[in-house]
Chain A
């Protein structure tokens, strides 16, 4: 059976959820061989095996932490040369997309990014992509070389599928260019204790209607009651009410959760581009004409400062 390389996104050995989703998709195409790089790479093996990795290739070297992107491309290329896979899958994080892109050029292969689904086809993997602000769905494939495909979070279920997960050390020779961009320092983002925005099953977002940084506490309280991530529209971010890292939309992050709750967001096309693929959409807005109501499964025309706290209260009560 063909082998499929899966690039592992992990933080010091803790595998992030989108990688486990990739293993589900990889099993539709062949036998997943995971590639884990950097500090803690070896510690990823157990969870990867639990989710279907027949083999885990690991490599650690100071280059992975000290220089941007290119050392990881060198390593993935070494894995590609060792395995000759039928496809290479990576999560659609900003960094992994850059790794995928450089690998595709090096191995002379076509590149697809931000797939939302993946199936085996007669001519190789067929990716589903969502384009034009999610108004169209396309079926796309790579027509030259070994398909290199990045997949968005929440595109597949995480499934247990125990496999051997034999750990092997990957030999990597770093090219001269791998030390081109030095990472002088790194400050970890302060954890809010909430799920990561792009990975969250539920996202609660606030927009212009929140009307002030301090009022975001109302949005956060609802998010915490639901175990959700907090998002913000561009208007709210530009006004300085919430950090840019939480921006949902065309120039921010694209999310596709099970449930998206938009509060005080009118739903400009740029925002819709970032959340339209959410499974269930709920909106609260004072303006009955707001375009967001065209997308909703459930909408409330009303003041978010009346509706949201009552909703939070009710969620807490039902939990209790």
Chain B
């Protein structure tokens, strides 16, 4: 029986670009390039490895986002995913994490799955809560923040490295997994992979396809509200001195003056 893997990915603004807010206090996407969230590349990589170990597996890569978000799907397809699902709807603009998780859960159920794999967090919002919410919404085990993962015999196993302890986890499929950047370096797409990706199917859903009321998502349906955003004032230029042999001493004097020693 085929192992159906769905990888959730996010199209995020390039962190090296100049990110700022639009008038409605959502991210201004016009001024900054987007790309597949780096942390999601690890999720795609683990999906490919798990599929490689399985007798028969199919990897669907899923994203919610505007037209440009297809770039993130293309990248994942060129790495080796089999097909893609893109949820796009004008009413989604400004959706928060609870709304996004609702859309993803509906799309995952529609696609069919045995295993959902996510990155540990997006590189823009960096909340790191979406995998847990997906597990809650789908009603399946969460096996999250794994630095090592394996699937076999209808089970997923993995290692979770926490602040105080390292834990070995085990759950039955279907399940939601998230992987950290320690799970294994993500592969670069080959030229062959990039060419093949152009022919792979990308299915599109809108909210109606997923039976979601527009009022449950988007800025109006958001469960949180941003009341204001201010640019952090540039740090006032500090003192920078060249070490002429006394740098350590000068620094100690500075720290003493600030009462750190």
Contacts and interface: CB of A to CB of B under 8 A. Distances in A.
Interface of A: 11, 68-70, 73, 93-95, 97-98, 100-102, 104-106, 109-114, 126, 130-145, 177, 180-189, 196, 198, 202, 226, 244-245, 250-251, 254, 258-259, 269-270, 273, 276, 280-282, 284, 288, 293-303, 306-315, 318-319
Given A69-B144, A141-B227, A315-B261, 7 more contacts: A102-B135, A142-B225, A145-B223, A198-B163, A259-B258, A282-B254, A311-B251
B204 interface: no
Given A68-B169, A135-B232, A297-B238, A308 B248 contact: yes
B143 A141 contact: no
Contacts of B170: 181-182, 184
A301 B242 contact: yes
8 contacts: A73-B136, A101-B127, A102-B132, A137-B230, A138-B226, A181-B141, A254-B126, A306-B248
A298 B144 CA distance: 40
Given A269-B16, A309-B248, A136 B261 contact: no
A234 to B, nearest CB: 9
A114 B36 CA distance: 23
A183 B164 CA distance: 14
B131 to A, nearest CB: 8
A contact face: mostly helix, strand, loop, or mixed: mixed
Given A70-B142, A297-B239, A111 B129 contact: yes
Contact of B142 (A98, A137, A143, A182): A98
Nearest to B156: A181
Interface string B247-261: 111111011101011
Given A111-B98, A181-B169, A137 B232 contact: yes
Contacts of B107: none
Interface string B148-183: 000000000100111111111111100100000110
Given A93-B163, A140-B224, A295 B235 contact: yes
A185 B15 CA distance: 37
B241 interface: yes
Contact of A105 (B133, B171, B238): B133
Given A140-B226, A251-B39, A314-B248, A186 B243 contact: no
Nearest to B132: A98
